[in-house]
Structure 1
Amino acid sequence: MLGPLLKHAFRRFGARYGYDTAYLTELVDLDAGGGFKLALVSYFTDHRFGLEAAPYFAARITAVRHTDCGSCLRLAIARACEAGVPMAAISAMLSDDASRAPREMALARHYAEAVLANDPTLPQIVGACEARWGKRGLAGLAAATVSGSFYPLLKRGLGHGNTCEPVLAWLAAETKRADEVPGRSMARMTHG
């Protein structure tokens, strides 16, 4: 009974965002208990610990990009837009010139990059983030960074990984279209 419920929930999530959840349903087929435990992980990784959406998703998107999964990056961008983060800010944060990004997003990106690289300046970056968002917000950044890495690595480990598509070009085109068509939802954009 648990397996079909989980598979239905995963498929519904995939349909909502245009995201292939085959690797998740495959896990449920292998071990419904393990699939259930995996579903519980998202309750932690989606918890922002009071952190605003923009820095949370900046860290999460940075981690997804680092793990090189194009479909996961599209999903993270769609979820950020759904949470109210402007596409232009996401595009600026992902550009090579991150100085164009809102300051909070640039700091969150810098944090995630430092965590992922085990950068020796991480203690100073952690201090700056804690000064800006407090210990609770720092926990949100850590959860976002873990979340951004967790699913792409699991997906790749199960043989379902994909390398980054030209997501930045896609994002630029979608940003332009969204500017031209007010009210266009990011969830619909992921479908083409």
Structure 2
Amino acid sequence: MFKRLLKRQLRKFQSRYGYDTLYMRELVDTGEFGALKLALISPFTDERFSLPAAPYFAAKVTAARRADCGSCLKLIITMAREAGVELEAIEALLDGAAASLPDDMVLAERYARAVLDNDPELSDILDACQQRWGKAGIAGLSAAVVSGQLYPTFKRGLGHGNACEPVLAWLKAEAARNAREHHAETEFA
């Protein structure tokens, strides 16, 4: 019964996001309570701790890209867009044009890279983050980095990882589709 409930939730998630949940369904079959414990991590890793969506997802996209799982990165991009993060900003993160982003996203991207690299400049970056967002914002950034790394790493460890597919090409196609839809809407208005 419990397995069926977990798998139903995974099918809903897969349907909503177009994300292959096979590794999680296999985990449910392997140990349903272990799978439940992994699922219970999500509310924490999705917690922004009052951090605005744009810097949270800048950190999360940066971490996920480093983890090198294309389907996970696509999922995070979809969630970022759902949270209102501009498509152009996500594209700039992936293009290596982070310097052209708003200051809060640049700082969040620098924070994520510094954490992942154990960069000696992390303490200075932490100070700048605390001045901008306070301790709660730092907790949100940290949760974003953990989340961006956790699932791709776990998935790869189970043998289901996939190197970053051409996510930037997919994102540009999405932007073109959105532009066409917007143009069509304004044309008929």
TM-score interval (norm. to shorter): over 0.9
1:70-121 residue CA offsets vs partner (Å, 9 max, x unmatched): 0001000000000111111111122222111122111111100110111111
* Deviation of 1:183 (Å): 9.8
* Change in CA separation of 1:102 and 1:21 when aligned onto 2, cut-off 3 Å: same
For 1:108, the equivalent position in structure 2 comes to 108
Instruction: Determine if contact 1:93/1:100 at 8 Å carries over to the other structure.
Output: no
What does 1:22-33 correspond to in 2, within 5 Å? Answer: 22-33=22-33
The equivalent of 1:39 in structure 2 is 39
Task: Give me the whole-angstrom Cα distance separating, in 1, the residues matched to 2:112 and 2:128.
Answer: 13
Q: Is the 8 A contact 1:91 1:172 kept in 2?
A: yes
Equivalent residue runs for 1:28-107 within 5 Å: 28-107=28-107
Amino acid aligned to 1:23: Y
Q: Equivalents in 1 of 2:88, 2:139: separation in Å? A: 26
Question: Counterparts of 1:97 and 1:83 in 2: how far apart (Å)?
Answer: 21
| Partner of residue 131, structure 2 | 131
Structure 1 equivalent of residue 143 of structure 2: 143
> Match for 1:129: what amino acid?
C
CA deviation profile, 1:114-143 (whole Å, cap 9, x unmatched):
101111111111111111100001000000
1:180 CA drift (Å): 2.1
Q: How far apart in 2 are the matches of 1:46 and 1:182?
A: 30
Partner of 1:190: none
2:129 and 2:152 map into 1 onto residues whose CA distance is: 25
TM-score, normalization by structure 1: 0.92
Q: Quick one: structure 1 residues 178 and 28, their matched pair in 2 at CA, closer, same or farther if it must change by over 3 Å? A: same
Which structure has the larger Rg over C-alpha atoms? 2
Q: Note closer, same or farther for the CA distance 1:183–1:3 as it changes in structure 2 (3 Å cut).
A: farther
Q: Is residue 2:83 matched to residue 1:119?
A: no
SS at match of 2:151: helix
AA in 1 matched with 2:67? T
Instruction: State the partner residue of 1:187.
Output: none
For residues 55-80 of structure 1, what are the alpha-carbon distances to aligned partners after superposition, in whole Å with 9 as ceiling and x for unaligned?
A: 10111111000000000010000000
CA distance in 1, matches of 2:96, 2:141: 21
Question: Counterpart amino acid of 1:32?
Answer: E
TM-score (norm 2): 0.94
Structure 2 counterpart of 1:6, which letter? L
1:154 lines up with 2:154 in the alignment:
yes
What corresponds to 2:4 in structure 1?
A: 4
- Partner in structure 2 of residue 165 of structure 1: 165
Distance 1:130 1:83 in 2: 23
Structure 1 residue 176: Cα displacement: 2.1
Gaps of 5+ in 2: 185-189
* Structure 1 portions without partners, runs of 5+: 185-192
Measured on the aligned residues, the alpha-carbon RMSD in Å equals: 1.4
Structure 1 runs (4+) deviating above 2 angstroms are none
Matched positions, count: 184
Q: How far 1:169 moved relative to its partner?
A: 1.7
> Contact between 1:70 and 1:163, CA under 8 Å: does it hold in 2?
yes
CA distance in structure 2 between the aligned counterparts of 1:61 and 1:117, rounded to whole angstroms? 15
